[in-house]
Amino acid sequence: MKRIYLCLPLLLAFLSFSSFDTRPLMAADPTSSQITAALKQALEQGTNKSVSKLSALNGFFGNAAVKILFPPEAQKAEKTLRKIGFSKLCDNLTLSLNRAAEDAAGKAAPIFVNAIKQMTVKDAAAILTGGQDAATQYFRNTTNQSLTDQFKPVIQTSLSKVGATRLYSSLAAQYNRIPLTFNKIDPELDDYVTQQAINGIFYQIALEEINIRQNLSARTTPLLQQVFSFFSKKS
């Protein structure tokens, strides 16, 4: 099957239909392995697009949907610190958390590529006939631990590099010294930022999936138009 570089919309061209159809595309019958190969190409392009977006400068910090904020248990402390004159410290820390996530996101692409290479015909069928987030859930199930293993060292290094570890320790110390403060802040950040960075990656992949399912204008290439036209006539 001629290799054609596709974006995530090819995957979801198939996803829009209720059955895993191995009938002819264009002039010849594609085999299930050919459809799986096309699906893998589409997934690789889609995940690369998501990773590229989030690993860019302000990929996390400039995107309100994935921007990393203070840990939930520290948000009350943040409000208190801002009230007593430490707003700049809080702002710098928030920026640092997101810069660390942007650094780590660049490590995700090879992990997704490996998951795609391991995909079976059965996996492809489940994605093609699955729900709105079938591809995203496939990646959650197959890459979460690998992403954690790869992201955490990068997060640790980046947090130190941009000063987040020092900033958060300083913030925690400032808050913990406030009289009558009973819920002290734990200065550990690595696990929290790692998980938030991974959540952001999956969120972005899910957006790619939802967009092509719901937005006809996202099917912009001649191949996509042909594929959708074929399945529309057969459905």
Most confident among 24-38, 185-199, 220-234 (mean pLDDT): 185-199
**Number of C-beta neighbours around residue 92 at 10 A:** 17
- Kindly list the distances between the CA atom of residue 68 and the CA atoms of 105, 106, 210, in Å, as whole numbers in the listed order: 13, 17, 23
Which residues have C-beta within 8 Å of that of residue 133, sequence separation ≥ 6? 206, 209, 210
Cα R_g (the chain), whole angstroms: 22
Rounded to an integer, the average pLDDT of 129-145 is 89
- pLDDT of the residue at 144: 94
- pLDDT of the residue at 61: 97
Regarding pTM above 0.85, the answer is no
For residue 22, name the pLDDT band (cuts at 50, 70, 90).
very low
Rounded to an integer, the average pLDDT of 178-202 is 82
Which residues have C-beta within 8 Å of that of residue 26, sequence separation ≥ 6? 226, 230
Which residues have C-beta within 8 Å of that of residue 36, sequence separation ≥ 6? 119, 120, 121, 124
Instruction: Calculate the average pLDDT of the chain.
Output: 77
- pLDDT of the residue at 140: 94
- pLDDT of the residue at 180: 60
pLDDT tens-digit map of 91-127: 988 999 999 999 999 999 999 999 999 998 888 878 7
Task: Look at 127 and 207; give whichever has higher pLDDT.
Answer: 207
